[in-house]
Structure 1
Amino acid sequence: MPTLWLAICLMGLAAAGYHLGRTRALASAGGDVRELHSLPVYYGLHSAMSVLVPALFVLAVWLLVQPVLIDRQVFNGLSTATAPDVAGGRLVMTEVRRVADGLDLAVSRGALSSQDAEALDAERTDLRALLGGVGVALGADVQPDVLNAAQRYRALTSTGTRAMQAIVLGLAVAGLFWSLSRSHKDFRARNVVEAGVLALLLLAALLAIFTTIGIVLSMFFETTGFFRLHDWKDFFFGSTWAPNFRGDSELSILPLLWGTLYISFVALLVAVPVGLFAAIYLSEYASRATRALAKPLLEILAGIPTIVYGLFALLTVGPMLAKVFAKGGFLGVEWMAGATSVLTAGLVMGIMLIPFVSSLSDDIINAVPQSMRDGSLGLGATRSETVRQVVLPAALPGIVGAVLLAASRAIGETMIVVMGAGAIAKFSLNPLDSMTTITTRIVSQLTGDTDFSSPETLVAFALGLTLFVLTLGLNVLALYIVRTYREQYE
């Protein structure tokens, strides 16, 4: 039974539980709702939750844990010749899962029976010829150890899935009968349901926290593996980024960090003035009709995919700047060698950040009480003086926080930098030079055939963890500024 059908069965049992729980509670009160402790809907919800919550919890945990345990068990059964180390084992396990999926697909399409799939000869089996007729492309001949591991993987997965279905359905049925046994007029169904909903809300709140912790830990463990293979002094204090996958790489983050901060700075030079002035106009000067039209049009920029901005930088902004600053252009001097540069990526990224800055700043400016504006105008100040001397100082902490959040967004951008800034890691103050950023190098180091035992691949996790700490620091600083210096108005 597929997982989807299992979920549909659980929903059906929950619906039946809702009806039966509600009906049983009413029957115990002789059909008089006033005799019940809680409204009938709570008895139905209690039965439905008793069916769904334990079953779905076990289903979710099982789906997360089962692949890990099966991978570990199959991996331990591989010979050292097939999987000589952890990195090689990862590649072999990828092949094992691919072959197992191919066998499952062949069985589902009728090219093989389930018994034939289990009894395949492990001696020089050519699965490409065997399964090519049903469109199952498995590449070259499969090694005997890999085929045996794939068959074991299928068997363990099948056994685990059947056990999961039995246990989940058993829990759902047990929860249904248990809830029905408690559905009588004196049962405090409302209290139990509200406590259960509160627990679910708490779990949802904790889920985001646990996800963040999991992301950090996963990067941290891989980063420790990198620093066991590469000197941390070269990473943090070196001056060259030159990975070559030959064991003598120079992997310093400083050139990448410089490019990241330089491009983000140029982007903020574009986004902050334009976004802030747009927010001031929309909140203080624009009529209601103009605001209703201009604000949605401005925020459309936030919905454009970053790959589109990257194409805009590559095909429009970059060539335009190259024509202006190439040889024979501005002052007859070749300032710019190609279309990719810090200025190209910074300009386009700044355009992308404009709605981010303007929307946050607009909300913050509108939060300033109208009475402060009226008082300033009543004392004889002009509208511009009121904005400059009253509104902006009152909204300044929030605006600073918005700028720092925009900086975090700029630091984490990838596609615009890949297509607009180039791929050269170096120190330079010239905004017309090509540079690269941390995010671009992470993509580059993890693209293609990766060997997770080499520092040239593991460095991506060290870069990611460093980037995470940097953006987290900016977010914490923005939150601190807003909470410390904001004014509380009646």
Structure 2
Amino acid sequence: MPVLWIILIILALAAVGYVMGRQRALASAGGDSRILHSLPSYYGSSVAIFTLVFSLLVLVGWLTIQPIIVDNSVAAMIPDTAIPEASSRSLVMSDVRRVANGLDLAVTGGAISADEARAITTDNTDIRALLAQVGVALGSEVSAPVLEAAQSYRQTSATGQTMMTIAVLAVAIAGFAFAFLRTHKDFRARNVVETAVRYLLIVAASIAILTTIGIVLSLIFNTIEFFQRYPADDFFFGLIWSPSFGGGSQLGIIPLLWGTLYISFIALVVAVPIGIFAAVYLSEYASSRVRSFAKPLIEVLAGIPTIVYGLFALLTVGPLLLSVFGPDGTGWMGAASSVMTAGLVMGIMLIPFVSSLSDDIINAVPQSLRDGALGLGATKSETVKQVVLPAALPGIVGAILLAASRAIGETMIVVLGAGAAARLSLNPFEAMTTVTAKIVSQLTGDADFSSPEALVAFSLGMTLFVITLALNVLALYIVRKYREQYE
């Protein structure tokens, strides 16, 4: 049974449980809700919670564990002789999953029957033609061991799906029956519901922490595996980035870090002054009518997809810079893709990050500070320069560092506007690339995660994580240092 149907059945059972639990509680009190320990809705909610929570937990756990068990059991069936020399077991398993999904689509579409799918062999039909018929393309021929593993994968997955359906529905019915049978007028349903809601809130609050921990652990484990296959000194201090999946790769991160920091620096040079000046004007000088129009207009920039900024850099800003600094101009620029192209467009993208946050921080400065400065004879500009901005400095620094983190993690503008060349150069009109762009390129396609050329993406991601963490620690230090002067 499809997962969606299972969820709908559970929801319907929970809705029925809510109505029946409420009615049972009222019936036990003779229809007088004043006799009940809790409100009638609590009794219905108790039955619904017991029906939903445990069955959904079983469903999520099953969906998480089953693919791992099936992959491990099927992968053990593939003999080493069936794995090509230029491939690996993980890549062969990718073909197994594709073939299994293709057979499922063929059965669903009526091209073959379920019995024919189980009996099909490489001798009695053209597997590639059958899979192409249902839109599944393979990069190599389907060998007999791969087809046998795919058929076992289908059968094991189908069996697991059936068992999951039975288990989940059984748990839902058991929870329904347990909560319904103990529902009576003296049952403390409110305590049960409030406890469940409290645990739900705890889980919701823990999701961000657990997600961060999961991301960090995945980066750490894959980074350790990378450094077991590639020297750490060559990675951190290498000056050449030249990956080759055939061997002999040079994976020095210095050129990528240089491109990342160079482009981010130009972006901040553009975004920080414009953003802060815009924030000062909107908060201190603009009328309410101008502010109500200008601030939403600036914030529209934050909602534009980065791919649109990338196209703007590729089609507009790059050719414009090339016409000025290219061969017909100063001769500094050889192509439309360059550090300056990406930096300028990224700076435009970051303006609302700086201006909106800075504007909110400046407006949060107590009005009494402004009134005191003006009362002592300071002008409007002196009040802004010597009172308001120093008081808002921690928040402004936080906005700048947030913009810096956003710039360091940007990908699409870099891919389309900066080029793909990993080089060390001070010329801002040359093409360069960043860490994020290379993470994408290293993981594009069927990456073999046993090779350094694919695992290096996790090391690059770990490096960016550490840089961003350092920026956050620096921001926290600055905020605490300056906040003491105004509290």
2-side partners of 1:296 and 1:205: how far apart?
A: 31
1-side partners of 2:40 and 2:232: how far apart?
A: 65
Partner of 1:226: 226
Matched, 1:258 2:258: yes
2-side partners of 1:275 and 1:461: how far apart?
A: 33
2-side partners of 1:307 and 1:49: how far apart?
A: 43
Alignment of 1:434-445 (within 5 A): 434-445=431-442
Matched, 1:249 2:246: no
Contact 1:125 1:141 in 2 (8 A): no
Partner of 2:450: 453
Contact 2:391 2:486 in 1 (8 A): no
Partner of 1:481: 478
Matched, 1:282 2:279: no
Partner of 1:208: 208
Contact 2:222 2:455 in 1 (8 A): yes
One-letter amino acid of the counterpart of residue 441, structure 1: K
Partner of 2:182: 182
Partner of 1:8: 8
Alignment of 1:406-425 (within 5 A): 406-425=403-422
Matched, 1:146 2:143: no
Contact 1:342 1:433 in 2 (8 A): yes
Contact 1:365 1:395 in 2 (8 A): yes
Contact 1:127 1:138 in 2 (8 A): no
Change (3 A) 1:86 1:182: farther
Contact 2:17 2:176 in 1 (8 A): yes
Change (3 A) 1:440 1:463: same
Change (3 A) 1:60 1:125: same
Matched, 1:354 2:387: no
TM-score, normalised via structure 2 length: 0.95
Contact 1:442 1:463 in 2 (8 A): yes
Change (3 A) 1:89 1:125: farther
1-side partners of 2:477 and 2:401: how far apart?
A: 11
Comparing 372-381 and 288-297, the one that deviates more: 372-381
Over residues 304-343 of structure 1, what are the superposed CA-to-partner deviations in whole Å (9 max), with x where a residue is unaligned? Answer: 11111111111111111111112342xxx41111112111
Partner of 1:462: 459
Matched, 1:65 2:53: no
Cα deviation for residue 139 of structure 1 reads 7.0
2-side partners of 1:227 and 1:179: how far apart?
A: 53
Matched, 1:20 2:20: yes
1-side partners of 2:341 and 2:139: how far apart?
A: 43
Cα deviation for residue 379 of structure 1 reads 2.0
Over residues 154-174 of structure 1, what are the superposed CA-to-partner deviations in whole Å (9 max), with x where a residue is unaligned? Answer: 111111111111111111111
Matched, 1:340 2:337: yes
Comparing 137-146 and 343-352, the one that deviates more: 137-146
1-side partners of 2:257 and 2:383: how far apart?
A: 41
Cα deviation for residue 480 of structure 1 reads 3.8
Cα deviation for residue 482 of structure 1 reads 2.8
Over residues 272-291 of structure 1, what are the superposed CA-to-partner deviations in whole Å (9 max), with x where a residue is unaligned? Answer: 00011111111111111111
One-letter amino acid of the counterpart of residue 478, structure 1: A
Change (3 A) 1:81 1:98: same
Q: 2:396 aligns with which of 380, 388, 399?
A: 399
Over residues 33-52 of structure 1, what are the superposed CA-to-partner deviations in whole Å (9 max), with x where a residue is unaligned? Answer: 11111111111111110000
2-side partners of 1:251 and 1:435: how far apart?
A: 16
Over residues 32-75 of structure 1, what are the superposed CA-to-partner deviations in whole Å (9 max), with x where a residue is unaligned? Answer: 11111111111111111000000111101111111111001100
- The gaps in structure 2 that reach 5 residues or longer are none
Cα deviation for residue 133 of structure 1 reads 5.5
SS at match of 1:81: helix
CA RMSD between the two structures: 2.0
Alignment of 1:287-298 (within 5 A): 287-298=287-298
Matched, 1:427 2:424: yes
One-letter amino acid of the counterpart of residue 83, structure 2: A
Partner of 1:77: 77
